[in-house]
Each structure stands twice: as C-alpha cells, then as structure tokens.
A and B are shown apart, each in its own frame.
Chain A
Amino acid sequence: MAEEVPAELVRSLEGTAREVRKEVIRMTFAAQSGHPGGSLSVADILTTLVFHELRIDPARVDWPDRDRLVLSKGHASPAMYATLALRGFLPREELSTFRQLGSRLQGHVDRTKLPCIEASTGCLGQGIGMAVGMALDARLRKASYRTYAVIGDGECQAGPTWEALMAGGHYRLSNLVVILDRNGLETDGSTEAIMGIEPIVEKFRAFRYHTIDIDGHSIPALLDAFAEARRTTDGPTAIVARTVKGKGVSFMEGKHQYHGKAPNSAEAEQALAELSRGEGAPS
C-alpha cells in the first residue's frame, strides 16, 4: 500500500535528478566518452537512493553501519559520480576530471581511487555478487546496514548475475535490495531482440525475491518501493524499475546508439537546454 509521500520531498528529488542529468551530459561531453544513455536512465533511482533512502554520511565514508550501494552496472559511473558529488562525497568541480589521466573518476567506478565507492565494478555480473557478500557480512555481524545493488538489463544476460541472485534468494537476505534499471536497450540494440530477459518479474519471483514492478522515473513510486523493501523481512527484494534509456534528453531517449557514445558540442548544448527547461515543472 502506498504511503503518503510529501510533495516537497518529491519536488526536491526531481530537481536533484535533473542536476544529475545535466552533470552526466557535461561529463560525457568533456570526456568525449562514457555512457550517457544508461546514466540518464538510472538518474532517478540513484538520486532517490543517495538523497533519501540510504543511511550514509559524506563526513564518514568508513562508518561501519552505513548502507552499502553497489553500482553493478559500473558503466553508469557518470550518474554515480554526479549523485555522490551533489550529496557532498566529492567536490563538484572534480566531475570535470572524469576519464582523464590521473583522475579518481575512472571510466567504471573504482573504490581504490574514490573511497565513497563500495565496490569497483564494470565487468558485468560481479557487483551483484559482491553485494550479496556484503549482505551476508551484515547478517554475520548482526549489523543493521542494508545493501543496495543496481544492475542493468543487459547484465541480466550474464550467467553470474543469476548465480548471485540465486545466492541472495537461497540465503533469504532480507537486507538486500536489487534494483534493475530496465531501460530495454544494450550496446547493440534492444535486449529483447538480442537475448530476451523477459519475463523478468517472474524470473525474480522464481529466484525467491519479493518483486516490485514500477515506473523507474517516478520518484513517489521509487520511494514507495524502497519503503516496501524495508517492510519485507522474509527475503530479498527486487525492484524492476521500468526506465527509458537517455531519459530527459529528447534525441537520446530510446536510442541504443547513446549507450556508449558521448554527445558532440551541439548535442550537449541542446541536451542541457532541454534539461534546464524542465526545471520547476513536474516531470
């Protein structure tokens, strides 16, 4: 059952997500590389996690009881860096160093360079397994922290993703939440044309996950789903967040070509203009 979600909170998170998207465009444009499509699709998910759901503190990145966030789809690093920067985990100016030699902001997130990253990821199907390990650690320690793993839909074609999901279900890890950024596209095109992952909700249920199917761009729906996950105490939760690749930038939306292609100068200008126009209006 949906809880009452304060409108002010929703507006605030929507505004932050727009800022995240703008930073994604600036970063990938400046680097002339990176993955804008999947970063734009995951922006609302990461914003809701980092600005509301997670118990984290920028002043204490090694706080033992902090919630763990693992970006298993490590190529969405621009969205991750932007969200964490806006939340105060790194200087916003540092975002311009993305993918440059010597930067802490690697092409795929790297914990050894940037301490607020819980796990270095990039090769798909691994972050989710590390997240299962973290949830097991919390259970062994009787610690209160929760673990959130954000996975991609192309990643759901990888065998180890299902190994890890199987383990999370087997151990009944109610402190584990898996969020699928279901944008429907991977590098070469549609997931369903290349190697279909549907019926994905049924698959998660078969793997013993309490599964919630939502609009992944709806902040109220995300807030509700995370609250429902907290109330779920008999096993892990999977949130299938239906999203649009390239969300918020008209010419990128639904285009697999922007999975791993940076905008050029004119495209970046148009994208930033579109994202700015959205300010103040409900999305």
Chain B
Amino acid sequence: MSAFAVGKPESLRDAYGKALVALGEKDPELVVFDADLSGSTRTILFGQKFPDRFFNVGVMEPTMMTMAAGLALQGRTVYASTFAVFAAGQAYNAVRQSICYNQANVKIVATHGGLLVGADGGTHQIVEDIGLMRGLPGMTVIVPADAPTTRAATFAVADRYGPAYVRLTRENLPPVTDGSFAIGKAAELRSGSDLTMVAVGSLVARALEVAEDLQKVGVSTRVLDFASVKPFDAPALLRAARDTGAILVLEEHSVLTGVGALVASTTSENSPVPVRRVGVPDLFGESGEPWALLDRYGMSKERITEEAWELLKARGKVQ
C-alpha cells in the first residue's frame, strides 16, 4: 500500500504565497520581489499584506535578481519569484554572480517549471533549470512534489543562510507527503525491495501509482521523493541502490542534466547498479494540454512501467 493516499490536487503556488505571508509576519525585514507575474506566482498575497516590503519590478528579471542581492547583502532574507524560464534562464548570470558568487541570502521561488506549463508552449517550458541551478556553487535546489512540501520548503530555505532555488509546477498536484520536508533528506514514501523509483515534482504521484500497480503483480517498489536535489540524500540513495539493486529516476526535466544525471553519477561512483531515466529527451516542448504533454514526451504511466520492467530484467528478477 502507498504510505499516503492520493488526495485532491492542490496548488503549490497558493501554498507558497500563504507561506510567504506567514514568513513576513515572523520576519519584519523580509522582502519579496516579483517581475510582473505576482498573480501567477502568488507573491501578490505577500504584496497585499506588506506593500512596503514588496517590489514588483516589471519585466526586468536579471535586475530583479541583482536588486534582491543588494538588499540581501544588508542582512535581509529576500524572496524573488517569476516563472522558471525567466528566473533560471533569462536571469542566469545575475543569479550566478550577484546571488551565488556574492553568497547573497536570496531565495528564488520559480513557478511554471517544466512541461506542465502546457498551452504557452516550448518557449515557456524550461526543462533545463534544475541542471543550471544545481551547477551553481552554494545553491540549494528544491523540487517539491506537492503543496505540503512547498510550504515546508518555503520555510526551510529561510532557515538556511544562502541562495536557494525552489522549482514549482503550475498544475495542481495531489498531496503525496505529510509535509515533513527537510533539506538534504529524501522521503521514503513507499518501502520496497525489488526496485527503487527516485522521483521529483509532478512525477512523484505517478511513481506511487505505478508502484501500486507493480505491487499487484508481486513487484515491491521503493519510492523516494527526492525533493531536496541539492544537497541530496546520498545515504538514502546508496542504501536504495544496495537494497534494491536498480533505480528508475522520474523527473519532468531534461534527462541530460537533471536528477537522473545526478543519480547515475552518484551510484556509478559509489555503488554501481543499473539506472534508467524517465524524463524529457533532448527536445523543447510544445503547446498542449499539460498532462498530455507528459505522456507525449515520455513520462506516461505506461512508459514508466516499461522502464521498470527493463530494470527488473536487467537485474535478472524477471525473464
């Protein structure tokens, strides 16, 4: 059985906006930036409550990041939000130099990561951001799978000095965790001994669904929610490699540079086991119904199931 019943989908962005308001009440120096998307990112909730500490700077994402750094270096915790394609893409070098190189205490909470942006199309569906952000020295990278983890992660990054990137999904997602998120820890959402699925974001719920189906035919699947991408829980990953002997990674991100690459390199250096990656191939996305896009680009339940069987065959657990 799944450790947590899959419930009604909830907005990660609303969870973020509400958590920001709570943080603003606790920390009178906390400042929030947005770049003309405050209704979508939900920073508007903070802006309505604390207008003096909210700066909607318009369409100037690189300078939103440099201004945020300038304030943060005066001892403040600063949150900056926009869509992931602008936060990690448009503003990359400002994030790199003004925030990371300066060790500025700026928390970038980027919404609309991945293909689930849907109808806006490939220009706005960034599938490279996890790779870009986890490559930056000193950057913490979190990819919540649901609203409870979003809320917990919003608080957790405030408690840890330094730059952070939190990637949220536009679509509502069912709660799959109890919100007991901790930076650097993977959450074992389901125990298992034949195979491990390491999943982030929108694909954690799918991992749990496929694991449930596999159980019906006698395959025991461990599911790790790898929301803390950097720092990541190496002990939990290597334990899973040793215990189950095979790992399937699921991410709504390019397989070239994302969590799959992280898992494959870590296991291969420390505890080599077969690893397969489910994610976006080396392609840009396109317009479409969000969940249909996931299916089209190789992240359907069927595809996940096929990949699981390939791993089980490689391990000699099935013919």
Contacts and interface: CB of A to CB of B under 8 A. Distances in A.
A234 interface: no
B238 interface: no
B74 interface: yes
Given A120-B101, A129-B67, A136 B55 contact: yes
A138 B93 CA distance: 26
Nearest to B71: A133
B interface: dominant SS: helix
Contacts of B73: 111, 118-119, 130, 133-134
B43 interface: no
Interface stretch (A158-166, A182-190, A204-212, A253-261): A158-166
Contact of B62 (A122, A129, A134): A129
A188 B139 CA distance: 35
Nearest to B78: A133
Contact of A140 (B31, B57, B68, B103): B31
B62 A133 contact: no
Interface string B102-125: 110000000000000000000000
A56 B97 CA distance: 25
A126 interface: yes
Interface residues of A, number: 30
A126 B97 contact: yes
B60 A132 contact: no
Nearest to A133: B70
B102 A129 contact: no
A121 interface: yes
B103 A131 contact: no
Interface of B: 31, 52-53, 55, 57, 60, 62-63, 65-74, 76, 93-94, 96-98, 101-103
Given A112-B102, A160-B66, 11 more contacts: A110-B101, A122-B97, A129-B63, A129-B66, A130-B70, A130-B98, A133-B67, A136-B71, A160-B94, A164-B63, A166-B60
Which 7 residue pairs spanning A and B have beta carbons closest together? A133-B70, A129-B66, A130-B70, A163-B63, A163-B60, A133-B67, A137-B74
